[in-house]
């Protein structure tokens, strides 16, 4: 990040992902298990434009939130995966979903994962996180650990 | 909110507060205890412009996240306060601050509240929330309660 407006921790996060699309791209990699440009574009519920998707993927890779690797055997295909740092945005996405559940009348099907995580408690959440980690080639982590260093 | 791009719970929250300034205005009311236009403008670490501040305050009032009341005895003064709904964005702000603490090298003084909340556990967090509620004229809530209905 070049020259943040301030080094307030909330502002730094806002500058990183506080735009209309970055968190939605991360959401689709994290919860919809989409890892290719084509499926991220075609599957976008919000109809993300190709130029915006290209830009946000590049920014997220530059920010260390996604990795971008060629798919073996497919000359032009690339796979995007979450990094460990991106996993630490999971609580942000969950908190946003929880807020929506209380106040914004989301689609029940689209909100069911968030409701399940809340209803299922820590064990259900660990399952969800373990599944996300597997899908993104991240090492198994036995328990959630410290949120802050 | 008119015609959201989708009713995904994360998207609804992104459409509500996923811009460069809305969460920072809420942050300043919540954590910096600023309630007037003048102090929100003058105290802004990020140098928010008056027209943007005016627009975001209006949007946040329209969205039911802030109340706007005249200050008794001051003809032109207005006080902005957090609503109960806005209190439910506290976990989003905290999760963003936690992410920054791990990955974005925030200013230690500006990040100290977040570090204290983590170090102090639920009791410290209840103190912080109780103080915020008092400053915003919200009824005392003895314990955090359910996150999801």
Residue-wise pLDDT tens digits, A3-12? 899 999 999 9
Q: Which residues lie closer than 8 Å to A2 by C-beta, 6 or more apart? A: none
The two tokens of residue B63 are: 């969205």
A100 near B CB under 8 A: yes
- B78's enclosing H/E stretch is strand B78-82
Mean pLDDT confidence for A87-93: 97
pLDDT at A1: 60
Residue of A2, A4, A11 to mutate when probing chain B, most B C-beta within 10 A: A11
Higher local confidence (pLDDT), B130 or B149 = B130
pLDDT number for residue A88: 97
Predicted local confidence at residue B46, as pLDDT? 97
The stretch B124-139 carries a mean pLDDT of 94
- Is residue A69 within 8 Å of A78, Cβ to Cβ? yes
Q: Give the minimum alpha-carbon distance from B127 to chain A in angstroms, rounded to a whole number.
A: 19
Is A89 part of the contact surface with chain B (CB cutoff 8 Å)?
A: yes
Q: Which pLDDT does position A146 carry in this prediction?
A: 46
Q: Give the model confidence (pLDDT) of A14-68 as tens digits.
A: 999 999 999 999 999 999 999 999 999 999 999 999 999 999 999 999 999 999 9
Residue B112 in contact with partner chain A when CB distance is under 8 A: no
**pLDDT, position A121:** 85
The dihedral over CA atoms of B48, B49, B50, B56, expressed in degrees to the nearest 10, equals -60
- In contact, A45 and B5? CB cutoff 8 Å: yes
Give residue A90's pLDDT.
96
Q: Which residues of B touch A96 (CB under 8 A)?
A: 9-10, 13-14, 92
B104–A98 C-beta distance less than 8 A: no
Using the beta-carbon criterion (under 8 Å), do B92 and A92 form an inter-chain contact?
Answer: yes
The DSSP 8-state label assigned to residue A66 in this structure reads E
* ipTM here: 0.91
Residue B142's pLDDT is what? 57
DSSP strand E in chain A: where? 66-70, 78-82
Percentage of chain A lying above the pLDDT 70 cut = 94
What pLDDT is stored for residue B146 in this prediction? Answer: 45
pLDDT for the residue B56: 98
- Mean pLDDT value across chain B: 92
Q: How many CB atoms lie within 10 A of CB B70?
A: 11
How do strand A78-82 and strand A66-70 relate by DSSP bridges? antiparallel
In this predicted structure, which of A86-90, B97-101, B141-145 has the lowest mean pLDDT? B141-145
Q: For residue A148, is pLDDT > 70?
A: no
Q: How far is CA B80 from the centre of its chain?
A: 11
**Percentage of chain A surpassing pLDDT 90?**
78
Least Cα distance to A149 among A92, A85, A95, A98 occurs for A85
Nearest to A33 by CA among A141, A139, A126, A131: A131
- Residues in chain A closer than 8 A to B19 (CB atoms): 18-20
Q: How many C-alpha atoms does A65 have within 13 Å on its Cβ side?
A: 27
- The pairing of beta strand B78-82 with beta strand A66-70: unpaired
Percentage of chain B exceeding pLDDT 70: 94
pLDDT of residue B141: 73
The answer for residues whose C-beta is within 8 angstroms of residue B123's C-beta and 6 or more apart is: none
What is the C-alpha separation between A134 and A136, in angstroms, rounded?
5
Helix (H, G, I), strand (E, B) or coil at B68: strand
Q: Does B110 touch chain A (CB under 8 A)?
A: yes
d(CA A47, CA A50): 9
Q: Which of A2, A3, A5, A14 should be substituted to probe chain B, the one whose Cβ sees the most B Cβ atoms within 10 Å?
A: A14
CA distances from A66 to A78, A86, A124, B95 (A): 12, 7, 25, 19
């Amino acid at each position: 990040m070049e020259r943040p407006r301030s080094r307030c921790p909330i502002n730094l996060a806002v500058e990183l992902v506080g735009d209309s699309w970055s968190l939605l791209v991360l959401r689709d990699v994290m919860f919809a298990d989409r890892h290719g440009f084509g499926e991220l574009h075609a599957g976008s519920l919000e109809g993300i434009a190709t130029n915006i998707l290209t830009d946000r993927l590049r920014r997220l890779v530059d920010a260390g939130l996604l990795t971008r690797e060629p798919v073996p055997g497919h000359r032009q295909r690339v796979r995007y995966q979450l990094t460990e740092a991106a996993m630490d945005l999971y609580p942000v996405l969950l908190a946003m979903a929880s807020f929506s559940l209380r106040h914004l009348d989301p689609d029940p099907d689209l909100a069911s994962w968030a409701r399940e995580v809340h209803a299922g408690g820590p064990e259900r959440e660990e399952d969800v996180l373990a599944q996300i980690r597997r899908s993104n080639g991240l090492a198994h982590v036995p328990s959630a650990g410290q949120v802050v260093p």
